Amino acid sequence: MSINEIHNQKILELIQLNKCDLSNANISELDVNILNYKHIEELILSENKLTKLPKDIGKLTNLRWLVISDNLLFKIPSSICKLENLEGLFLSGNNLTNIPKNITKLRKLKWLALSENEQLVLDDLQKSWIEDLRLNGCNILI
């Protein structure tokens, strides 16, 4: 079995356990086939070289944790707002200048990390949403 086959087998094993940890894997683009694994609850993509996410990432409706910190993202697809079961959203350490307007639909968050996005600008509704989350016990890093 080659290294690639072992690596792919390990990814499939992780996906089968409802978790996919591809952190620090030197990934520059996420394979859209991951969207076929709708049962995934945790997707960890931190410390890679991602410049974009699949536009339909919102199809992973069972996601509870999405960790995409420390990448090269400038933009988050608006479909992320469909991930209404998210409890943890980690976007720190990217190059974000804004986040989707409808992100305020994410009401179940217990963790939200937006720090180290120096150019990030939030509108008034998003600021209010963050304050509401904070009042409801969400841990927030800005």
Give the H/E segment covering residue 62. Answer: none
Within a domain: residue 60? yes
Q: Look up the domain containing 58 and give its range.
A: 34-141
Give the CATH number for residue 57.
Answer: 3.80.10.10
Q: What angle do CA 77, 83, 88 make, to 5 degrees?
A: 100
For 20, the enclosing helix (H) or strand (E) is strand 19-21
Q: Is residue 16 part of a domain?
A: no
Has residue 20 been placed in a domain? no
Q: Of 90, 92, 98, whose CA–CA distance to 74 is shortest?
A: 98
pTM value is: 0.88
For residue 26, being part of any structural domain is answered with: no
Q: Which of 82, 98, 90, 95 is nearest to 35 (CA)?
A: 82
Per-residue pLDDT tens listing for the chain (142 residues): 444 454 555 566 666 678 889 899 898 998 888 898 889 999 999 999 999 999 999 999 999 999 999 999 999 999 999 999 999 999 999 999 999 999 999 999 999 999 999 999 999 999 999 999 999 999 999 8
The answer to whether position 54 is within a domain reads: yes
Burial environment of residue 133 by CB neighbours within 10 A (0 to 12, 13 to 18, 19 or more): buried
Is 81 a member of any domain? yes
The number of domains in the chain is 1
Q: For 16, left (φ over 0), alpha (ψ -120 to 50), or beta?
A: alpha
